[in-house]
Structure 1
Amino acid sequence: MNKKLYILGIRGVPAQHGGFETFAEKLCLFLVARGWDVTVYCQEEGAGAKWESVWSGVKRIHIPVRQNGALGTVVFDFLATCDALKHQGLFLTLGYNTAVFNLMQRVWRQVNIINMDGIEWKRGKWGRIAKSWFWLNERIGCWGGSHLVADHPKIFEHLATRVSKQKITMIPYGGDEINTANVNLLGVYGLEPHKFSVIIARPEPENSFVEMVRAFSSQRRNHKLVVLGNFSPDVNPYHQKVMADASDEVIFPGAIYNTAIVQALRFYCRFYLHGHRVGGTNPSLVEALGAGCAVIAHDNHFNRWVAGPGAVYFNDEKDCAVVLDNLLPDEEVYFKMKNSSRVRFNERFRWEQILQEYEDLLFKWYPSDLEFK
């Protein structure tokens, strides 16, 4: 009989919503090819009974919910966890935001591995109630999970203040290596290869958008900065500020979900600017390394471990402006940075390596007679 794995905590596969979904898709296909029986819970809009389908050999249990936004996600996670109690096998929960529901799995003595993601309750975008909810669920996830996965050494250290190190395995996020891209896709945005730099992130204060955009716009660059992300300046004051502070050399094309276009923007950009100040292994930064981007990143221990010594780091707006002043015309350093990114990517972030580490962990925790710990 094939080993059974049930994946909770995401909206579903194939990936449409972000890093965890992309990881789940990669892991599912990898495990199915190796004989695993994999089931993923998928969130659907609307009402009615659950239904099942199969995608690329992956079983999917679709659960419709009437609620939208964060409330809809909470309701879906609750219903998915309740359904999971009916099944036998190994369970993998991606994220701890509703770990309180996973306590039911502990009571049922199911083996549930939880990927603890980042330190969500430290993010500046959340209010006091949301931060309290995330803080509480982080504690519950640490206690209630059979085993924990940290995606970064600093996340491992953080979790080790909650539980013993023996209960945690560090496995980072992975990425695909990009060695070519369609240059013609740049024309839609009026771009030429290596004559633009790019930011790809959610436009939140903790991701340093204002600092990077103002640093770039501090003088005429004869260079473009492409800022990808969902901007709503009419309703979001922070988005309004970012766009108001931008020079006419900054382009805001919105969020782009076409993989080929995003790959072309990464592959042909001069610099990839990464302003994240909190979090673990950021998927977008890993993907930039895989595309051989020369990386300019905010200086913190999360980014330094991922991008390595070959990237260049900044602390604030003034610092970022100086970095851009120095690096934009320096061809020699630019090519050294690109080569360093590929070296770092191949050292630690290839999907083949990451997915094998996950399968090894799943095998370790699979035995049906394993007692809950």
Structure 2
Amino acid sequence: MHVIVLGIRGIPARHGGFETFAENLCEYLINKNWQVTVYCQEDGSGRIYETEWNGVKRIHIPVNTQGPLGTIIFDFKSVVHSLKHDGVFLTLGYNTACFNFIHRIFRKTNVINMDGIEWKRQKWGMIAKAWFWLNERFGCWFGSHLIADHPKIAERLATRINSDKITMIPYGALHVTDGSEYILESFGIEKNQYSIVIARPEPENSFLEIVKAFSVVRRSTKLVVLGNFQPEINTYHKLILDAASEDVVFPGAIYDSETVGALRFFSRFYIHGHQVGGTNPSLVEAMGAGCAVIAHDNNFNRWVADDSAYYFSGEGDLARFFDGDYLDDNFILDKKHKSYNNFNDRFRWDFILSQYESLLLKYK
């Protein structure tokens, strides 16, 4: 049994949700006696080389081009190189699904996780949106089977292909039951006296609305906003920083899992402003840490968080919430309890990864 993983930057995870998922899936499959190969993008030039990590064969492809173009080049080289392998291919994301036509020509079985609706994100220009829009369709045409991480994504894909070709499997996360409280000291915050936002600071993630609603008056708690802000080159980032009161803390982007886990675990609320996408990893991870949730009101977030969240549609009702139930400890305890229950019922890694293995076994 051999699975070849494409479409990510590599493992161990250093970049985002797909890499974290891939790391967990690879370790799970290795323990189930699978052979696992993962393609990894490296900066620079030189020959393709191989290493091993926790039993996983990693194939490193150097690319000396930065940014999205570098990723496109890496994906193309990975697809071409992968043709020498036999097994089932798992492609995470459809952003370069046009290249998966090569797998179809060579009769390779390719399962594609179709991720979210990337072309709807406000940060992309018209050319990028057209690229993602086309590749979403290429994924539907060239994939042997499609994985949707949310029922609404599955419904969308079913308008393009037969629903028998689609399996809905959401994202998973670890169940966090404790954290290191001393970590909070370096941020100048105290347990249950802050709420947290963890996302890329982009318009579709409601950063400006959240910061403005929290900053309209002085608060008795803090708002911790994790993310990479570059106000000198990004106007939207500057708007967020200018709108923030003294109660908003910007520690930057943090990738250390212990630190982020503790910040989630001891928070008053996790605030999730995502307006587009499927099952968002950050929201599931917050539920795994038992966070009470404040979420943007849309079908994607409502299916994931269910009754463990307060839902807002704009800056005004969010500001009113900060003045009301946000301060009610009993309200928070009820939402935290529901978060744990929802997570344990639907999003545990063991439950999610076993579904992936069952699907891959059908094509091995």
- Segments of 5+ residues of structure 1 without an aligned counterpart are 367-373
Partner of residue 305 from structure 2, selected from 299, 304, 307: 307
**Partner Cα distance (2:304, 2:353) in 1:** 18
Cα deviations by residue, 1:105-164 (Å, 9 ceiling, x for unpaired): 000000000000001111111000000000000000001000000000000011111111
Equivalent position amino acid for 1:364 in 2: K
Q: Which residue of 2 aligns with 1:318?
A: 316
Give the CA deviation at 1:325. 1.2
Give the CA deviation at 1:235. 0.7
Give the CA deviation at 1:328. 2.5
Mapping 1:331-350, distance limit 5 Å: 331-350=329-348
Equivalent position amino acid for 2:54 in 1: S
Equivalent position amino acid for 1:154 in 2: K
Q: Which residue of 2 aligns with 1:79?
A: 77
Q: Which residue of 1 aligns with 2:146?
A: 148
Give the CA deviation at 1:331. 1.1
**Partner Cα distance (1:150, 1:206) in 2:** 21
Secondary structure of 1:342's aligned partner: helix
Give the CA deviation at 1:310. 2.4
Q: Which residue of 2 aligns with 1:282?
A: 280
The two structures have a TM-score, normalised by structure 1, of: 0.97
**Partner Cα distance (2:96, 2:259) in 1:** 34
- Counting matched residue pairs gives 364
Give the CA deviation at 1:219. 1.1
Secondary structure of 2:249's aligned partner: strand
Mapping 1:226-245, distance limit 5 Å: 226-245=224-243
Secondary structure of 1:340's aligned partner: helix
Equivalent position amino acid for 2:223 in 1: L
Q: Which residue of 2 aligns with 1:102?
A: 100
Secondary structure of 1:169's aligned partner: strand
Cα deviations by residue, 1:76-99 (Å, 9 ceiling, x for unpaired): 000000001111111000000000
**Partner Cα distance (1:80, 1:329) in 2:** 51
**Partner Cα distance (2:118, 2:160) in 1:** 15
322-331 vs 265-274, which deviates more?
322-331
Partner of residue 253 from structure 2, selected from 252, 255, 276: 255
Q: Which residue of 2 aligns with 1:371?
A: none
**Partner Cα distance (1:24, 1:329) in 2:** 38
Q: Which residue of 1 aligns with 2:133?
A: 135
Secondary structure of 2:307's aligned partner: coil
Give the CA deviation at 1:258. 1.2
Contact 2:307–2:335 (CA<8 Å) still a contact in 1? no
2:270 aligned with 1:272 = yes
Q: Which residue of 1 aligns with 2:213?
A: 215
Partner of residue 352 from structure 1, selected from 350, 353, 356: 350
Secondary structure of 2:167's aligned partner: strand
Secondary structure of 2:287's aligned partner: helix
**Partner Cα distance (2:213, 2:363) in 1:** 49
Q: How much is the aligned-residue C-alpha RMSD, in angstroms?
A: 0.6
The list of structure 1 runs, each at least 4 consecutive aligned residues, that deviate by more than 2 angstroms after superposition, is none
Equivalent position amino acid for 1:173 in 2: Y
Mapping 1:196-215, distance limit 5 Å: 196-215=194-213
Give the CA deviation at 1:221. 1.1
- Segments of 5+ residues of structure 2 without an aligned counterpart are none
Contact 2:176–2:288 (CA<8 Å) still a contact in 1? yes
Give the CA deviation at 1:220. 1.3
**Partner Cα distance (2:31, 2:332) in 1:** 40
Cα deviations by residue, 1:339-359 (Å, 9 ceiling, x for unpaired): 010011011000000000000
Secondary structure of 1:219's aligned partner: coil
